[in-house]
């Protein structure tokens, strides 16, 4: 019995040993057949989900209504408004004159002396016809027909006061036409209501001229609509001259507004003067440059012409205007005649209102420009007849 027990114990131990051996063998095989694990990656931080709507509803901004173009008004519609504004506030203050160091200031003002109203729309350019050269007019020329009657007084030097830029500043232009005269009023080609304004001047006993804008040396200065510019071809230049001359009637002649560049151009001035010659008008050279060819060219072409002697208001102050009026007297005493040009500035109007009534008492004769043109024509004819 003892041996039987021992035999069964030995077999049980052998069985467990076999099981253990099989388990160990299976573990070894698993290690051999299983690949090596990857190094574990760091865990991603937990992301909190945000609840978003499927579509963000942006409120629509309504498109602005299209801007309607400003309505254009005719002169008749705007006239009451312009008159009301002029009566309440007056026109804008004129620009200061250039400093004395400016060479243009010595020759004459080149900057527009009055603040022009919005310029009128230029007429459509017609197809220029071939130039037609007309013979000089027969009979009495227009400048004599339209001249203010004036008889020179022997021994009295003659003074003519010309006021340029008339018609732009309606209020100051009207003030000028209340001054004792006779004066010579030069109306700008592009001013409004020229027929009406010039009629007032004639009724007051003043002589009428045409003020034609011409190109200045200063490129940044605009002389105005339909100005005469050296770069234009002959047909366009002639068209602009004819346009200006057709703006009004009953005037005696033309003088240049600005023009320090254009009046140095002989081809350009020839076209201008030919139109004046055809119409029997004279030319007053404002002399805005010492190199103007206006007078010499006019005399070569047989166009009556005179030149400005004094500018009254290069500097728009009462003392400066008074000083230039005294200079005008000095020139008249020396030469027998003097032509002074001024503008519708407050200082000029104020000084003329005081000075004009004193002219006769000082021994001078106040005359329109046509009287000096006639005097120069008589002198030239006498010299031509006597030969010296």
Kindly report whether the peptide bond that precedes residue 182 is cis, defined as omega within 30 degrees of 0: yes
**Three-class secondary structure of residue 276 per DSSP:** helix
**Best mean pLDDT range from 90-104, 117-131, 176-190:** 176-190
Contact between residue 259 and residue 228 where contact means Cβ atoms under 8 Å apart? yes
Secondary structure of 195-235 in the HEC alphabet?
Answer: HHHHHHHHHCCCEEEEEEEECCCCCCCCCCCCCECCCCCHH
Please list, residue by residue across 3-35, b when 16 or more beta carbons sit within 10 angstroms of its beta carbon and e when fewer do: eeeeeeeeeeeeeeeeeeeeeeeeeeeeeeeee
Question: What is the DSSP secondary structure assignment for residue 32, as one 8-state letter?
Answer: H
Average pLDDT over every residue of 364-378:
98
In the predicted model, is pLDDT for residue 325 greater than 60?
A: yes
Q: What is the pLDDT of residues 146-156, one digit of tens each?
A: 999 999 899 99
- The whole-angstrom separation of Cα 176 and Cα 346 is 10
Average pLDDT over every residue of 320-333:
99
Tokens coding 233 = 């071809």
* Share above pLDDT 90 across residues of the chain, in percent, rounded to a whole number: 61
In the predicted model, is pLDDT for residue 59 greater than 50?
A: no
**Topology adopted by domain 157-386:** TIM Barrel (3.20.20)
Average pLDDT of every residue of the chain: 78
Angle between helices 294-301 and 266-279 (to 10 degrees): 50
| Residue 377: predicted pLDDT | 94
| Residue 245: predicted pLDDT | 99
Average pLDDT over every residue of 123-141:
51
Closest CA to 262 of 295, 225, 308, 229: 229
Q: 3-12, 109-118, 247-256: lowest mean pLDDT where?
A: 109-118
- Give the pTM: 0.69
In the predicted model, is pLDDT for residue 95 greater than 80?
A: no
Q: What is the pLDDT of residues 307-319, one digit of tens each?
A: 999 999 999 999 9
Who has greater pLDDT, 3 or 35? 3
């Amino acid at each position: 019995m003892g041996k039987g027990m021992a035999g069964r114990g030995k077999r049980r131990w052998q069985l467990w040993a076999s099981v253990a051996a099989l388990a160990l063998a299976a573990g070894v095989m698993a290690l051999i057949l299983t690949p090596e694990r990857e190094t574990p990656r760091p865990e991603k931080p937990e992301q909190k989900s945000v609840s978003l709507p499927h579509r963000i509803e942006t409120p629509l901004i309504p498109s602005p209504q299209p801007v309607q173009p400003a309505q254009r008004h005719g002169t008749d519609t705007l006239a009451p408004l312009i008159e009301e504004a002029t009566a309440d506030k007056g026109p804008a203050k004129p620009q200061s004159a250039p400093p004395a160091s400016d060479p243009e200031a010595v020759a004459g003002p080149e900057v527009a002396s009055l603040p022009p109203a919005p310029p009128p729309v230029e007429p459509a350019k017609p197809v220029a016809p071939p130039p037609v050269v007309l013979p000089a007019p027969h009979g009495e020329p227009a400048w004599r027909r339209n001249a203010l009657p004036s008889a020179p007084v022997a021994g009295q030097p003659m003074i003519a006061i010309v006021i340029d830029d008339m018609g732009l500043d309606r209020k100051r232009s009207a003030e000028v036409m209340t001054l004792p005269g006779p004066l010579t009023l030069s109306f700008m080609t592009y001013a409004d209501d020229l027929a009406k304004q010039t009629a007032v001047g004639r009724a007051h006993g003043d002589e009428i001229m045409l003020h034609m804008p011409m190109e200045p040396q200063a490129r940044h200065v605009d002389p105005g609509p339909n100005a005469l510019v050296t770069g234009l071809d002959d047909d366009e230049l002639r068209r602009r001259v004819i346009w200006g001359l057709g703006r009004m009637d009953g005037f005696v002649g033309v003088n240049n507004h600005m023009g320090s560049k254009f009046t140095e151009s002989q081809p350009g001035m020839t076209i201008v003067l030919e139109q004046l010659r055809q119409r029997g008008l004279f030319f007053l050279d404002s002399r805005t440059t010492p190199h103007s060819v206006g007078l010499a060219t006019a005399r070569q072409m047989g166009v009556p012409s005179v030149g400005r002697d004094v500018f009254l208001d290069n500097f728009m102050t009462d003392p400066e205007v008074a000083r230039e009026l005294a200079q005008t007297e000095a020139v008249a005493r020396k030469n027998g005649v003097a032509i002074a040009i001024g503008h519708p500035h407050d200082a000029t109007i104020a000084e003329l209102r005081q000075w004009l009534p004193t002219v006769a008492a000082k021994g001078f004769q106040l005359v329109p420009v046509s009287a000096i043109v006639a005097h120069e024509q008589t002198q030239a004819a006498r010299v031509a007849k006597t030969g010296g």
